[in-house]
């Protein structure tokens, strides 16, 4: 009180946190000027326009770093303390009465430590529990003000910080990354006008049309409740029972059974907002919009046999890949594209744009590129950032609004609701990773874990005692919902029903299947075969094949053959006898091959097999050349550590055949040196290594000596049709030209022309 009276801060060590400008208390009733709340001094994210909204994309830097500094802890050179800041003298022994005596209840240090530990876990997300996050920025290419006043799209070069979390859906927090599953692609934009969360998936459609069915869907796909199995897998009775009874799932099933559901990397998959949203401009005019993220590295996937094996050897495969790409400077980058269309156009489409089981073919409404997102910084702390981040479809900003998609409506409710129990109360927006960079002022108060210390006695509006503050922003600055007209026919009134076009469950499933390349179609059939083969109830299997007959007779036949089903069941009755004629019957954009990417071999994992007697000089030149091109080369030997080269010196193996098997790599370089080849050809792990590389369609660089290794592994030099296998690159001599040819071949991702079913090797 004395300090205040003297105009001095009450807590001299924290002047700014207590709202004092230059250490002097403001006069009552005078609000604090924003500069006193700059990052570093503030307990809340408030006005700090400078560091986070700069005009130039900070390649390699990250604008979200600074504001979080206030909560970052670096213990370098610091002494150990309790949570109350009391220095701890001994962190090894509990307090006892005599060295062999009982532990004393008074040991507050032990009790604090154990108590905190006991509560270290929070509930995992009910879906999307397993995820990996990264910081980055979004940069706008050109003003989009014609369509939207949303802050990230206001001017060319405008940079908005983002945090992204990728996830699987079905599995628990500790489950594997490479499950066959949808991937979450959730982006939090920390805009000048509040947080905008674009909570999307890597697949542009969904299983169901109405939020009412979401708990049923999730109960069906999660491990079966009686025995808790299977983990992170849809290949079980309850899932297929449900979806085969829900024909609206069929389109989504085509995507989930395609290679899209086993991406090679989070950096090589697309992302989609799924629902139709609205853009709103300064004049209040609105258009519909669908959001698309396209990876610069191209769309690349795993093959199933590879995904299964990876899940055993490295359940963190995607998490590690994301981390390593960012650490090595191969920043994952995605282009944001929008499909913009009007209400009138929407009415003419053969499908309903409120139906989340439908896409808008790109041939009908082109995707316009509007900006790019670069992920350039790993989180400092997995729990504090990736686990505590809370996304929500209700987090929109002026310029973005909703459509009446009934699935979206349920989501707008669900996310906030789930965070309240997951993050322990209504103040999760104050957790640093969730706090907006835009200032937060309102009259919401108290609750669990409140961080803000609100000054003054006014927490209501209208008020006169605080000069009416915080005041309503009004229609010009504030968020105003689009006064969309409701198209309900008068006679309908309140209904529980769906629009008619929602009932066309198959046209777009067929469109998807017919737009795939032959190898992608083969993988879809194999995925259905695998999943349905795991069912214990034959009737469910049959019902699913009956449903597939409405998508494609060829597909249904292939799946039935794979299941030993001699006669095809009758097709399931269709809900809509005469669906509207589709605008597009083929959409090449739906094939993964449509986007090979521009990154060459950057971030590709390349194994260089080695054993005693390998040509060490060549090996080192190859490692250097591959690293130069941005790939991640690793020498893999029979053991880690020293390998004696043909030249008599040693090279160090980074990994062993045992700890990093072949399927973890995108390609392999085989060594030169007859002795090394003989050693590898006598090693079952090395043979499996190259067999997996071959079976999964990878590129192998094969010097003359190494042909013996391929022969031993039973790998044919020719493709099934007798032509030369383009993925087996011959390599001789000093190897420079060969390595060049190898790199170009690796950039093609895979050689599916090698595939046979069942595999030859």
Which residues are known catalytic residues?
Answer: 128, 201
CA dihedral 568, 572, 573, 576 (to 10 degrees): -120
Q: Which residue stretches of 339-498 are H helix? A: 343-348, 406-422, 474-477
Closest by CA to 639, choosing from 623, 621, 660, is 660
DSSP class of residue 81? B
Contact between 52 and ligand HDE by CB under 6 A: the answer reads no
User: For residues 363-392, which are near ligand HDE according to CB under 6 A?
Assistant: 390-391
Closest by CA to 63, choosing from 137, 164, 147, is 137
Q: Which of 411, 501, 749, 754 binds ligand HDE (CB under 6 A)?
A: 411
Q: Which residue is nearest to ligand HDE (CB)?
A: 184
Q: Which of 63, 131, 613, 637 binds ligand HDE (CB under 6 A)?
A: 131
**CA 480/CA 122 separation, integer angstroms:** 36
Contact between 64 and ligand HDE by CB under 6 A: the answer reads no
Contact between 479 and ligand HDE by CB under 6 A: the answer reads no
Prior bond of 505 cis (ω within 30°): no
Q: In the complex, what is the shortest distance from the CB of residue 738 to ligand HDE, in angstroms, rounded to a whole number? A: 43
DSSP class of residue 386? I
Q: In the complex, what is the shortest distance from the CB of residue 201 to ligand HDE, in angstroms, rounded to a whole number? A: 4
Q: In the complex, what is the shortest distance from the CB of residue 541 to ligand HDE, in angstroms, rounded to a whole number? A: 27
Query: Whose Cβ is closer to ligand HDE: residue 95's or residue 394's?
Result: 394
| DSSP-based three-state secondary structure for 248 | helix
**CA 390/CA 693 separation, integer angstroms:** 39
Query: Whose Cβ is closer to ligand HDE: residue 199's or residue 681's?
Result: 199
Ramachandran assignment for 211, one of left (phi > 0), alpha (psi -120 to 50 degrees), beta (any other)? alpha
User: For residues 347-366, which are near ligand HDE according to CB under 6 A?
Assistant: 356
Choose one: 65-73, 407-415, 644-652, 657-665; the region binding ligand HDE (CB under 6 A). Answer: 407-415
Query: Whose Cβ is closer to ligand HDE: residue 409's or residue 522's?
Result: 409
Q: Which of 36, 195, 201, 552 binds ligand HDE (CB under 6 A)?
A: 201
Choose one: 125-133, 145-153, 298-306, 624-632; the region binding ligand HDE (CB under 6 A). Answer: 125-133
Query: Whose Cβ is closer to ligand HDE: residue 198's or residue 551's?
Result: 198
Query: Whose Cβ is closer to ligand HDE: residue 127's or residue 710's?
Result: 127
Query: Whose Cβ is closer to ligand HDE: residue 210's or residue 612's?
Result: 210
Q: In the complex, what is the shortest distance from the CB of residue 428 to ligand HDE, in angstroms, rounded to a whole number? A: 10
Query: Whose Cβ is closer to ligand HDE: residue 130's or residue 149's?
Result: 130
What is the distance of C-alpha 165 from the center of its chain?
5
Q: Give every CB contact of residue 315 below 8 A, 6+ residues apart in sequence.
A: 174, 175, 176, 177, 178
Q: How many residues bind ligand HDE (CB under 6 A)?
A: 26
Q: In the complex, what is the shortest distance from the CB of residue 404 to ligand HDE, in angstroms, rounded to a whole number? A: 13
What is the distance of C-alpha 544 from the center of its chain?
29
Q: In the complex, what is the shortest distance from the CB of residue 200 to ligand HDE, in angstroms, rounded to a whole number? A: 5
Closest by CA to 755, choosing from 259, 311, 313, is 259
User: For residues 721-740, which are near ligand HDE according to CB under 6 A?
Assistant: none
Contact between 402 and ligand HDE by CB under 6 A: the answer reads no
Q: In the complex, what is the shortest distance from the CB of residue 715 to ligand HDE, in angstroms, rounded to a whole number? A: 40
Query: Whose Cβ is closer to ligand HDE: residue 30's or residue 212's?
Result: 212
b/e for 197-219, b at 16 or more Cβ within 10 A?
bbbbbbbbbbbbbbbebbeebee
Contact between 395 and ligand HDE by CB under 6 A: the answer reads no
Asked whether 248 and 502 are in contact (CB, 8 A), the reply is yes
Closest by CA to 453, choosing from 20, 8, 3, is 20
Q: Which of 15, 200, 337, 662 binds ligand HDE (CB under 6 A)?
A: 200
Query: Whose Cβ is closer to ligand HDE: residue 163's or residue 331's?
Result: 163
CA angle 91, 97, 98 (to 5 degrees): 90
CB atoms within 10 A of CB 84: 7
Q: In the complex, what is the shortest distance from the CB of residue 213 to ligand HDE, in angstroms, rounded to a whole number? A: 8
Q: In the complex, what is the shortest distance from the CB of residue 500 to ligand HDE, in angstroms, rounded to a whole number? A: 21
Closest by CA to 441, choosing from 462, 465, 459, is 459
What is the distance of C-alpha 33 from the center of its chain?
39
Element (H, E) at 59: none
Q: Which of 94, 404, 418, 656 binds ligand HDE (CB under 6 A)?
A: 418
Contact between 150 and ligand HDE by CB under 6 A: the answer reads no
| Residue carrying structure tokens 């849809």 | 234
Query: Whose Cβ is closer to ligand HDE: residue 20's or residue 196's?
Result: 196
Q: In the complex, what is the shortest distance from the CB of residue 352 to ligand HDE, in angstroms, rounded to a whole number? A: 16
**CA 115/CA 105 separation, integer angstroms:** 13
Contact between 125 and ligand HDE by CB under 6 A: the answer reads yes
Element (H, E) at 278: strand 277-280
Contact between 633 and ligand HDE by CB under 6 A: the answer reads no
User: For residues 508-567, which are near ligand HDE according to CB under 6 A?
Assistant: none
Asked whether 16 and 42 are in contact (CB, 8 A), the reply is yes
Q: In the complex, what is the shortest distance from the CB of residue 751 to ligand HDE, in angstroms, rounded to a whole number? A: 33
Choose one: 42-50, 59-67, 198-206, 566-574; the region binding ligand HDE (CB under 6 A). Answer: 198-206
Closest by CA to 597, choosing from 143, 339, 263, 289, is 263
| Residue carrying structure tokens 């830097």 | 61
User: For residues 207-236, which are near ligand HDE according to CB under 6 A?
Assistant: 211, 214
Closest by CA to 151, choosing from 452, 468, 436, 503, is 436
Closest by CA to 608, choosing from 630, 632, 634, is 634
Query: Whose Cβ is closer to ligand HDE: residue 428's or residue 694's?
Result: 428
Query: Whose Cβ is closer to ligand HDE: residue 509's or residue 556's?
Result: 509
Contact between 274 and ligand HDE by CB under 6 A: the answer reads yes
Q: Which of 279, 334, 415, 528 binds ligand HDE (CB under 6 A)?
A: 415
Question: What distance, in Å, lies between the first and last C-alpha atoms of the chain?
Answer: 82
Q: In the complex, what is the shortest distance from the CB of residue 539 to ligand HDE, in angstroms, rounded to a whole number? A: 28
Q: Which of 160, 378, 414, 645 binds ligand HDE (CB under 6 A)?
A: 414
Contact between 319 and ligand HDE by CB under 6 A: the answer reads no
**CA 178/CA 697 separation, integer angstroms:** 18
Choose one: 35-43, 290-298, 415-423, 433-441; the region binding ligand HDE (CB under 6 A). Answer: 415-423
User: For residues 155-194, which are near ligand HDE according to CB under 6 A?
Assistant: 165, 167, 184, 186
Contact between 199 and ligand HDE by CB under 6 A: the answer reads yes
Which whole-number Å values give the CA distances from 617 to 364, 638, 709, in the listed order? 56, 19, 21
Asked whether 659 and 635 are in contact (CB, 8 A), the reply is no
Closest by CA to 582, choosing from 298, 744, 739, 360, is 360
Instruction: Report the interface residues with ligand HDE, using CB under 6 A.
Output: 125-128, 131, 165, 167, 184, 186, 199-201, 206, 211, 214, 274, 356, 390-391, 407, 410-411, 414-415, 418-419
């Amino acid at each position: 009180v004395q300090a205040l009276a003297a105009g001095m801060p009450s807590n001299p060590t924290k002047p700014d946190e207590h709202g004092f400008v230059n250490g002097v208390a403001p006069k009552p009733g005078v609000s604090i000027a924003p500069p006193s709340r700059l990052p570093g001094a503030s307990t809340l994210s408030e006005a700090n326009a400078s560091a986070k909204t700069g005009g130039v994309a900070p390649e390699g830097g990250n604008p979200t770093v600074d504001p979080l500094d206030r909560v970052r802890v670096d213990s370098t050179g610091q002494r150990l303390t309790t949570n109350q800041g009391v220095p701890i003298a001994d962190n090894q022994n509990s307090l006892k009465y005599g060295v062999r005596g009982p532990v004393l209840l008074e040991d507050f240090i032990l009790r604090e430590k154990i108590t905190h530990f006991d509560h270290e876990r929070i509930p995992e997300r009910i879906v999307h529990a397993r995820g990996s996050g990264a910081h980055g920025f979004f940069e706008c290419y050109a003003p989009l003000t014609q369509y939207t006043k949303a802050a990230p799209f206001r001017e060319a070069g405008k940079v908005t910080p983002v945090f992204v979390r990728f996830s699987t859906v079905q599995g628990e927090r500790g489950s594997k990354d490479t499950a066959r599953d949808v991937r979450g692609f959730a982006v939090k934009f920390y805009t000048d006008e509040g947080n905008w969360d674009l909570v999307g998936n890597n697949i542009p459609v969904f299983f169901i049309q109405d939020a009412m069915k979401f708990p049923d869907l999730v109960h069906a796909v999660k491990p079966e409740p009686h025995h808790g199995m299977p983990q992170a897998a849809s290949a079980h009775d309850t899932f297929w029972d449900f979806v085969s009874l829900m024909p609206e799932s069929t389109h989504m099933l085509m995507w989930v059974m395609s290679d899209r559901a086993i991406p090679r990397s989070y950096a090589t998959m697309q992302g989609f907002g799924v629902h139709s949203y609205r853009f709103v401009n300064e004049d209040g005019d609105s258009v519909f919009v669908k959001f698309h993220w396209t990876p610069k590295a191209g769309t690349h996937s795993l093959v199933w046999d590879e995904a299964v094996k990876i899940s055993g050897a490295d359940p963190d495969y995607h998490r590690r890949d994301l981390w390593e790409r960012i650490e090595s400077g191969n920043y994952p980058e995605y282009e944001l594209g929008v499909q913009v269309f009007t209400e009138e156009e929407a009415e003419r489409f053969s499908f309903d744009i409120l139906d989340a089981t439908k896409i808008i073919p790109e041939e009908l409404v082109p995707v316009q590129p509007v900006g790019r997102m670069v992920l350039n910084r790993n989180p400092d702390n997995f729990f504090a950032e990736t686990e505590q981040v809370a996304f929500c479809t209700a987090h929109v900003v002026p310029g973005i609004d909703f459509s009446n998609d009934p699935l979206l409506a349920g989501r707008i409710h669900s996310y906030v609701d789930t965070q309240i129990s997951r993050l322990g109360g209504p103040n999760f927006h104050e957790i640093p990773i969730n706090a907006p960079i835009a200032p937060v002022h309102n009259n919401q108060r108290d609750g669990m874990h409140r961080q803000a210390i609100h000054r003054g006695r006014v927490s209501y509006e209208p008020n006169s005692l605080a000069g009416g503050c915080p005041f309503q922003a009004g229609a010009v600055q504030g968020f105003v919902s689009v006064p969309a007209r409701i198209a309900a026919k008068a006679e309908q009134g309140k209904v529980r029903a769906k629009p008619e076009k929602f009932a066309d469950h198959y046209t777009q499933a067929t469109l998807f299947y017919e737009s795939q390349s032959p190898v992608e179609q083969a993988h879809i059939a194999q995925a259905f075969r695998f999943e349905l083969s795991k069912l214990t109830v034959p009737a469910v299997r049959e019902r699913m094949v009956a449903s597939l007959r409405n998508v494609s007779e060829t597909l249904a036949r292939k799946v039935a053959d794979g299941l030993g089903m001699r006669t095809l069941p009758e097709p399931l009755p269709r809900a809509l006898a005469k669906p509207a004629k589709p605008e597009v019957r083929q959409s090449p954009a739906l094939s993964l091959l449509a986007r090979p990417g521009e990154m060459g071999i950057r971030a590709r994992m390349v194994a260089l097999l080695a054993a005693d007697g390998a040509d060490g000089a060549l090996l080192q030149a190859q490692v250097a050349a591959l690293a130069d091109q941005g790939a991640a080369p690793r020498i893999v030997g029979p053991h880690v550590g020293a390998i004696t080269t043909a030249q008599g010196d040693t090279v160090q193996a980074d990994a062993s055949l045992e700890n990093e098997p072949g399927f973890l790599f995108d390609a392999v370089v085989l060594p030169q040196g007859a002795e090394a080849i003989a050693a590898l050809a006598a090693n079952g792990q090395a043979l499996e290594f190259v067999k997996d590389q071959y079976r999964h369609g990878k590129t192998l660089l094969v010097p003359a000596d190494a042909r013996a290794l391929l022969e031993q592994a039973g790998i044919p030099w020719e493709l099934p049709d007798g032509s030369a296998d383009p993925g087996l690159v011959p390599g001789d001599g000093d190897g420079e030209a060969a390595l060049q040819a190898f790199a170009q071949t690796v950039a093609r991702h895979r050689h599916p022309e090698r595939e046979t079913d069942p595999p030859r090797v």
